[in-house]
């Protein structure tokens, strides 16, 4: 197709050069469908000036679908602001090479536990879905073809079969999907013949992003790269969407070569290969380095519209084979993950998919099976031994011991949310307010994959119980750490008041407690701090240790709020911090008092300043800010 297209361009250009200009303009040029991508902003005039017509403007990337004279394609490519022009090529379902799969992926183990994909939104970009099928519950959808007489109704059967694999209802009829309670959306981008254009798929991805879809299933393939499609899938992935794609059915029986098709070949998509009941690759399943996981793909029993059921039993169910059937198994399993761990990002869920996979073929990731057969629950033995050591004043301590040689560290999850990227210490300590928490640990192998999670450990933490400190607050661990060390005690009414400004006297008390200074009330060198003042002992001790100097008029001004610059000065005197550059922040110059101390805080990763690149040295400090700064200065675990 590509060679023919280029040949046609050459013929037209030669003929155009041989006739008068007026005659050429009066002729009817051959039009082609293209996608025009722009470097920054869409310029529709680039198309219309060359006698073209814009048929669709995309929001997901700066591009349009258009029909243009074939003679204008090269001019359009050179138009100022145009990034590239590609032919709007055809994508199609992988033809069938014509349910054990749910059990094979261990999805059935999760259903009795209430893990059924509930609340997870999956867009099926395909031939549509039959909304009247009794075994399917379609949450909504759209048809993005040029003609949709029956909306997103499936007039091919392929999309309905894919939908059943993902979410056929658990209703004692027909079959059960991997995630029977997931919300499926029918996005019709392929026609009754299972074919469509890249522009329709682009529109489908755009629709999915706009409708906050969690997972996109692409059981379709094209042999050629389409840069606009790649950019759209990347945009979806960056938006937090998981994109699952069939690897294609054009593999060789001997498994040689790189035969993965697009869009599965893109890094932002999860490329899925197909296996049979014996966990053996299907002879036609595509192979190559892009293969990420494998899934059941042979003789899969699922739903089809009754009118299109041609297997001899018109009951709305049939068997199909191919990587098109394998991809929805992965989409369904990801829906189970998403329900279990709603706080995890799409990157984390993708990592879990790899880590839980049952290794097949050559050890480790290989071009036939990727990381292995997709699994809803890992059948691998945990590679960590985790024990709860103690719970005291909000400090929760665990011992963590690797049980495999391939383990380089571990990650920690609290109530399903990841706390740490990589830990290597034999003891892990968390700091939380009063509540009940569930901890899980996952080993990180040398190849970067995440293993099966350890068995959940439920921990009941009785204190501290600060009324205005939530367990979801980003600064909660730092405050609880200071509380466990006796540095912070809160107010008599049971609050911590994190958003109140902190006074100079309160700072002196906190630093004095942190450094174990003598806090006995006594006379001070400052004329505005009497021996009866609650902070007098710590203020005098801080002065004697060179942490504070007071003002030239002999006062300390204990009730005055402390500034960010003053905080930096006190912390840099109290803790050994590395030197840093005074030019870290655009509002901190050598003329700013405390600029060297501010640079030290930045060099020690105690502060990164504000998003606009400022530090705001003269701004008063809230209590939570001082708590966080102090915790980071005292304990590198918080940096």
Active site residues: 126, 158, 324
The H or E element spanning position 143 is strand 138-143
Q: What is the Cα–Cα distance from 517 to 386, expressed in whole angstroms? A: 37
What are the backbone dihedrals phi and psi of residue 111, each rounded to the nearest 5 degrees, phi first? -60, -45
Query: Using alpha carbons only, how large is the chain's radius of gyration in Å?
Result: 32
What gap in Å lies between CA 98 and CA 318, rounded to an integer?
11
Q: Using an 8 Å Cβ cutoff, are 236 and 216 in contact?
A: yes
Residue written as token pair 């008390």: 509
Distance between CA atoms of residues 67 and 52, nearest Å? 6
What is the pairing mode between strands 457-461 and 417-423?
unpaired
Q: Report the C-alpha gap between 138 and 149 in whole angstroms.
A: 18
- Of 506, 509, 621, nearest to 559 by C-alpha is 506
**Using an 8 Å Cβ cutoff, are 78 and 36 in contact?**
no
Contacts of 632 by beta carbon, 8 Å cutoff, 6+ apart = 478, 604, 605, 606, 638, 639
In the chain, what's the furthest Cα-to-Cα distance? Answer: 105
Q: What are phi and psi of 546, to 5 degrees?
A: 75, 20
Indicate the SS3 state at residue 320.
strand
Distances 482 to 416, 511, 620, 624, 634 between C-alpha atoms, Å: 25, 11, 21, 11, 9
Is 351 in contact with 242 (CB distance < 8 Å)?
no
Do 222 and 262 meet the contact criterion of CB atoms below 8 Å apart? Answer: yes
- Please, what's the b/e burial string for 516-530 (b: 16 or more CB within 10 A of its CB; e: otherwise)? ebebebeebebebbe
Cβ atoms of 243 and 202 closer than 8 Å: no
d(CA 558, CA 550): 10
Using the Cα atoms of residue 312, residue 315, residue 319 and residue 320 in order, give the sign of their dihedral: positive
State the angle between helix axes of 536-544 and 504-514 in degrees (0 to 180), rounded to the nearest 10: 70
């Amino acid at each position: 197709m590509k060679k023919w297209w280029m040949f046609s361009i050459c013929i037209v250009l030669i003929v155009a050069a041989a006739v008068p200009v007026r005659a050429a303009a009066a002729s009817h040029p051959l039009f082609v469908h293209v996608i025009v991508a722009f470097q920054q902003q869409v310029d529709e005039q680039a198309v219309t000036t060359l006698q073209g017509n814009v048929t669709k403007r995309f929001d997901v990337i700066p591009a349009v679908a258009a029909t243009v004279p074939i003679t204008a394609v090269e001019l359009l490519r050179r138009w100022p602001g145009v990034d590239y022009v590609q032919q709007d090529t055809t994508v199609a379902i992988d033809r069938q090479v014509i349910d054990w799969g749910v059990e094979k992926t261990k999805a059935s183990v999760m259903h009795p536990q209430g893990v059924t994909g509930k609340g997870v939104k999956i867009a099926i970009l395909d031939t549509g879905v039959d909304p009247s099928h009794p075994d399917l519950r379609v949450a909504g959808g759209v048809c993005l073809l040029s003609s949709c007489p029956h909306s997103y109704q499936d007039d091919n059967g392929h999309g309905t079969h894919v939908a059943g694999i993902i979410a056929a209802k658990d209703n004692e009829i027909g079959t059960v999907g991997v995630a029977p309670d997931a919300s499926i959306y029918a996005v019709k981008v392929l026609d009754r013949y299972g074919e469509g254009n890249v522009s329709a798929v682009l529109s489908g991805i755009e629709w999915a992003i706009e409708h906050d879809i969690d997972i996109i299933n692409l059981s379709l393939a094209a042999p050629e790269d389409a840069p606009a499609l790649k950019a759209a899938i990347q945009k979806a992935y960056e938006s937090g969407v998981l994109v699952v794609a069939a690897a294609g059915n054009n593999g060789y029986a001997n498994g040689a070569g790189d035969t993965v098709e697009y869009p599965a070949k893109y890094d932002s998509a999860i490329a899925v290969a197909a296996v049979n009941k014996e966990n053996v690759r299907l002879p036609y399943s595509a192979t190559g380095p892009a293969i990420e996981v494998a899934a059941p793909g042979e003789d899969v029993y699922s739903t089809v519209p009754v009118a299109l059921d041609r297997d001899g039993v018109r009951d709305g169910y049939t068997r199909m084979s191919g990587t098109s059937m394998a991809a929805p198994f992965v989409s369904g399993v990801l829906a189970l993950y998403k329900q279990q761990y709603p706080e995890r990002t799409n990157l984390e869920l993708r990592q879990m998919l790899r880590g839980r996979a049952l290794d097949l073929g050559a050890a480790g990731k290989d071009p036939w099976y990727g990381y292995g057969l997709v699994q809803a629950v890992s059948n691998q033995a945990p590679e960590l031994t985790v024990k709860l050591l103690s719970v005291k004043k909000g400090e929760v301590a665990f011992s963590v011991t690797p049980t495999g040689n391939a383990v380089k560290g571990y990650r920690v999850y609290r109530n399903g949310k990841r706390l740490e990227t990589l830990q290597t210490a034999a003891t892990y300590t968390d700091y939380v307010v009063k509540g009940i928490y569930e901890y899980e640990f996952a080993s990180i192998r040398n190849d970067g994959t995440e293993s099966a999670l350890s068995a959940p450990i439920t921990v009941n933490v009785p204190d501290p119980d600060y009324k205005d400190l939530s367990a979801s607050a980003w600064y909660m661990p730092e405050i609880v750490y200071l509380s466990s060390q006796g540095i912070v005690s809160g107010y008599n009414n049971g609050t911590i008041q994190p958003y109140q400004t902190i006074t100079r006297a309160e700072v002196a008390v906190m630093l004095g407690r942190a450094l174990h200074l003598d806090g006995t009330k006594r006379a001070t060198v400052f004329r505005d701090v009497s021996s009866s003042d609650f902070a007098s002992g710590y203020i005098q001790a801080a002065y004697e240790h060179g942490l504070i100097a007071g003002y030239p008029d002999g006062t300390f001004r204990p009730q005055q709020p402390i500034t960010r610059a003053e905080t930096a000065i006190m912390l840099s005197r109290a803790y050994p911090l590395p030197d840093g550059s005074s030019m870290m922040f655009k509002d901190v110059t050598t003329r700013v008092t405390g600029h060297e101390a501010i640079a030290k805080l930045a060099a020690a990763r105690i502060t990164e300043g504000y998003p606009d690149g400022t530090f705001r040295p003269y701004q008063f400090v809230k209590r939570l800010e001082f708590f966080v700064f102090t915790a980071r200065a005292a304990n590198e675990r918080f940096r």
